[in-house]
Amino acid sequence: MCGNRQLRSIIIQLAWMTVRKDGALLEKFDKVYKSSGSKQKAIIAVARETNDKNICSSKERRRL
């Protein structure tokens, strides 16, 4: 297994919280869940998307 287990756990917990509050991410979760039948795969997809958004926004802040 690769990566920091604690960090991965925190990212997954944040993904669950954002799914409850963000309609677009809830739609992403539902779409992946319906196609895969797995909540774990769906929340990982949401976590990856959230992480990608965070990385992009931090790069934008650095440019300013």
Query: How much is the pTM?
Result: 0.77
- Please count the other Cβ atoms lying within 10 Å of the Cβ belonging to residue 32: 19
User: Does the pLDDT at position 40 exceed 70?
Assistant: yes
Query: Binning pLDDT at 50, 70 and 90, where does residue 64 land?
Result: low
Query: For all residues of the chain together, what is the average pLDDT?
Result: 88
Q: Is 10 helix (H, G, I), strand (E, B) or coil?
A: helix
61/49: higher pLDDT: 49
19 residue type, one letter: V
